[in-house]
Amino acid sequence: MVGAYLDASVLVSMLLDETASPIVDAWITRTEARLFVSDLAAAEVSSAISLAVRNRRQTVADARRRMHDFDIWRANIAFEAETRPEDVRTADSFVRRFDLKLKTPDAIHAATALRMEATLITLDRRLLLAAAALGVRVAEPTVSD
């Protein structure tokens, strides 16, 4: 795998204690792919951490520490995946495939990965299936690749 575009579901699992966290952590450690993160995915991570604070699953101090760790990881490990206007236009056409039931942010992730010719890495089953149907290379983090 040359490039791996990480969606928010994968990134959140890196930061919060979730069922998939050990699998994601092991996959991130093992992969030789260049890891790409978009500003959209980063904003979704911030939203998920904020929700964890509102739901009292995280303290404000812990959330700030996790976001700081994420920012450092992103700056030192990940590569920028720029979201372009054509990605949004492509995403619009993806969302109009009503049978796929895609939300706009997920469609933008799929469109960006497609344009970049990167593999979309996600834990979101609906996104995984929809993106594959749209011709996007997709994968889930697994224990062994």
Residues 55-98: tens digit of each pLDDT: 999 999 999 999 999 999 999 999 999 999 999 999 999 999 99
Residue 81's SS3 state is strand
Measured CA to CA, the distance from residue 7 to residue 138 in angstroms comes to 11
Residue 37's SS3 state is strand
Q: Which domains does the chain have, with CATH numbers?
A: 3-42+78-139 (3.40.50.1010)
Residue 80, strand partner residues = 37
Q: Are 93 and 102 in contact (CB under 8 A)?
A: no
Residues 9-64: tens digit of each pLDDT: 999 999 999 999 999 999 999 999 999 999 999 999 999 999 999 999 999 999 99
* CA atoms 60, 63, 67, 72: torsion sign: positive
Measured CA to CA, the distance from residue 22 to residue 98 in angstroms comes to 34
Burial, 117: exposed, middle or buried (Cβ in 10 Å; 0-12, 13-18, 19+)? Answer: exposed
Q: Give pLDDT, residue 1.
A: 52
Q: Give pLDDT, residue 142.
A: 85
Residues 107-140: tens digit of each pLDDT: 999 999 999 999 999 999 999 999 999 999 999 9
